[in-house]
Chains A and B, each alone.
Chain A
């Protein structure tokens, strides 16, 4: 059974601060790791899909890294803004092909202006 752990569960940062959160997962049988941003009353929005060990992806002020050998991924937000306030979900593909994702509980970020 895939177990995806995210930490911290929640955090509050001041506007302008940079922050990061962690996603941990079993390093065996890795297929792909997904990061989503989920704002209240909206649908989860895909940020990154990462497949290769050492992969780094960037989208504006948000970036992510992946270490499949040790089973973790970091999501970084540089210069946090109030609009970054959301829950950030990490999920793993359970297999190859059109398979469902296994989600962590998420990290709830609040950016205080």
Chain B
């Protein structure tokens, strides 16, 4: 149980274009989704927290107008990288807690998608 599906797995795009990454919770409802990114040799860094039906919360230094997050349903959150530039090339990964495992608790594990490798040329 508690499967998170993320698409695409990898994408190559030209500078200036936009890329949408989808994250679906397949067998549970995720009111909150955490979006992380990882640069080479670095840790997973939280970018933003998306909440179903409300605005996402962005971490310091993450541009909300560049990284658009939509969490329109309890099973789908999307991250759109707008006007992508080479410096946006990174690994993006989503995660959520399963309410059936105590999603309101910090001692409940996160369930991750497989991640998206974005390369902007």
Contacts and interface: CB of A to CB of B under 8 A. Distances in A.
Contact of B103 (A51, A98, A101): A98
B92 interface: no
A102 B41 CA distance: 16
Nearest to B115: A43
B106 A96 contact: yes
Contacts of B45: 103
A93 B43 contact: no
Contact size range, B: 20 to 34
A43 B112 contact: yes
A60 interface: no
Chain B binding surface SS class? loop
B108 A49 contact: yes
Contact of B46 (A43, A46, A100, A105): A100
A89 to B, nearest CB: 7
Chain A: interface secondary structure? loop
Contacts of B103: 98
A42 interface: yes
Given A97-B105, A98-B103, A106 B114 contact: no
Contact of B112 (A44, A51, A105): A44
A4 B43 contact: yes
Interface in A1-54: 4, 31-32, 34, 36, 41-44, 46, 49, 51
A31 B108 CA distance: 11
A99 B106 contact: yes
A52 B52 CA distance: 32
Given A97-B104, A98-B32, A100-B46, A42 B114 contact: yes
Contacts of A102: 46
Most buried by A among B41, B104, B106, B115: B106
Interface of B: 4, 6, 31-32, 34, 36, 41-46, 49, 93, 97, 103-115
21 contacts: A31-B106, A32-B106, A36-B109, A41-B114, A43-B4, A43-B6, A43-B111, A43-B112, A46-B109, A46-B110, A49-B107, A49-B108, A89-B44, A93-B107, A94-B106, A97-B105, A98-B108, A100-B49, A101-B110, A105-B41, A105-B42
